[in-house]
Chain A
Amino acid sequence: MNKTIIIGVGNPILGDDAVGIEVVKNLRNKISNPSIDIVEAYTGGFNLLDMFIGYEKAIIIDAIVSADSAGEVKKINLNELPKNHSWNPHAVSLYEALRLAEKLGEDRIPKEIIVLAVMIPSIQLEFREGLSSIVREAIPKAIDETLREVNN
């Protein structure tokens, strides 16, 4: 198994929510190292844990809603991830899934889990393809940040 996995998270048909997917699509041309896996995840929470278990390093790229800092790219600490049940009662948070894996003695959790967030201006509620310009313009920065984390 490869050592590093890069996961772009998003919904490809929900506007700016797709930014994580778009970032990893672009990354494929920039990373030739065959020991790095690049995947798209149209899902969250528990399913992400399934994807990165067994790797040494996982880099997750997702969207976060922030009207004030739309277009920025931020590194998020794991302990800033949602901790509790969400208001939507049927998704388990990544934080909860990770904590559970630790508690049950799972020894294949990556030593390094990095979450890079691209700030998007609003909650996406309308099905459409394509990003708003402010989010699209953040992609090169998100790519640079990801490459920096890969080499770090």
Chain B
Amino acid sequence: MKTVLIDPITRLEGHGKISIFLDDNGNVANAYLQIPELRGFERFSQGRRAEDMPQITSRICGVCPVAHHMASAKALDDAFNVEPTSTAKKIRELMYCGYVIYDHILHFYFLGGPDFIVGPDAPPDKRNIFGVIEKAGIDIGKEVIKHRAFGQKITAIIGGKATHPVCGLPGGVSKPISKEEQKEIESMAESCVNFAKLSLKLFDDIVLSNKEYVDMILSDPYTLNTYNMGLVDENNKLNFYDGMIRVTDQKGKEFLKFDVKDYYKHIVEHVEEWSYVKFPYLKKIGWKGFKDGEDSGIYRVGPLGRLNACEGMATPLADKEYKRFYETLGGKPVNSTLSFHWARLIELLYASERALELIRDPEITSKDIRNPVGEPDEGFGVVEAARGTLIHHYKLDKNGLIEKANLIVATTNNAGAINMSIRDAAKGVIKNGKIDNGLLNKVEMAFRAYDPCFACATHTMPGGMPMEIKIYNHKGEIIETLRQG
């Protein structure tokens, strides 16, 4: 048995492992991704004051607190039977754009994009921001840092705190935007629009102009014909903050469109005994195992899911890029997992343009930021987290305490698809018992494209937990263990 140990020192986010099972010809029969799931949130929230939920749920994840905060605030609007004022909605959406800006920048330049910009065969210690700088220049690095900080600053100005916002309240937000803040945000948003354009150009120059990369994007191991899901506005344009949940089919046609209140009529969670994570699927289609196609209820969320689930972007530059995306990759829907990266950059442009629109809206500095709350009952909230659809659902008692809380987080929505993408990537590099050296990289690229969040929140420092792949022969014996940090 061979063990490849590349860098044992990694940040520990929980145990995780991938098991690949070969058939008697030595080809991939099945692959399983096992990740820990943080437990007990429902019990933890019972009996707490509902208005504390936006703060409590934002602690669930140290990386994306804004998404939880917002889904929670929206669930409280609904639970207290109050509609936020028009200005409050705009302020919330603006803060949310700031979050999408920094989160997408972080993923593209630090986490997922390097696999691509630096190259799929590059060693792991090059597939990071330093490799990107080597390839694209140090000035890009400076721009990356600057604009990530701008996204963060926008959320901090509005949210009241750098990482964990405190502004969302049932019926609105806690403080208005001042004229000075408006000016500051406007100049940052303007700069982000330009940076997003620059990022798309970089993607053009390094990825799309390279036929080998484009072929890889479109190759079978990285293709899944699943349903797609995302929030859309009244014109079926993509929206991060609000709207209806829309599902499109393998031909790009609308299959379902529903209000978050009806989520449990359309989404069911399948349980596998080997996994802590549940696998959501479309109730109308049913669970048919880890399969794609129109007969399988598995769907995808996140940047690619959203682009496929909508009919365009509500801002001009992003909409142009949206059209180019489909023209270049062979029409709608695009089912190539690796095109998540391109989709993410188009969303970065949209979030930047939308932030600029909102901050220039004369209403944005209005002081009319909160409506009075009504009687408590049940509430549903939905947003598009950077990595996909996020749903919060609370039942309150008459004193406004939490009776029941249920969350469906973005990565869970993608769990079935991620598992299949790992299996298919492995199929591409394991042939007749021969295991290609690029296995670790290829598998890593497949799941990283989704920007998954495994065990939201555990940020306990490392004892050393690299990605581990165990390969089993048809008798169930381990024939190889590979590890990557």
Residues of A within 8 A of B (CB): 9-14, 17, 41-47, 50-51, 62-66, 76, 80-93, 96, 99-101, 103-104, 117, 120, 123-128
Contacts and interface: CB of A to CB of B under 8 A. Distances in A.
A123 B36 contact: yes
Contacts of B128: 84-85, 96
Contacts of B125: 83-84
A91 B13 contact: yes
A43 B10 contact: no
A96 B114 CA distance: 14
Contacts of B454: 87-89
Contacts of B460: 17, 62-65, 120, 123-124
Q: Which 9 A-B pairs have the closest CB atoms?
A: A88-B13, A86-B11, A127-B44, A82-B11, A44-B459, A43-B62, A84-B485, A64-B461, A126-B40
A99 B164 CA distance: 25
Given A51-B162, A126-B38, 7 more contacts: A65-B12, A65-B461, A82-B11, A85-B127, A88-B13, A123-B460, A127-B60
B452 A89 contact: yes
Contacts of A123: 12, 14-15, 36, 458, 460
Per DSSP, chain B at the interface is loop
27 contacts: A12-B59, A43-B164, A47-B162, A51-B162, A65-B462, A76-B461, A81-B9, A82-B462, A84-B128, A85-B111, A85-B127, A86-B13, A87-B14, A88-B11, A88-B454, A89-B444, A89-B452, A90-B453, A91-B13, A92-B110, A103-B130, A103-B138, A104-B138, A123-B15, A124-B458, A124-B460, A125-B14
Contacts of A41: 163
Contacts of A9: 459
Contacts of B149: 50
A42 B152 contact: no
A11 B59 contact: yes
Given A88-B11, A123-B15, A100 B130 contact: yes
A80 B463 CA distance: 11
Contacts of A12: 59
Contacts of B148: 46
B387 A89 contact: no
B268 interface: no
B457 interface: yes
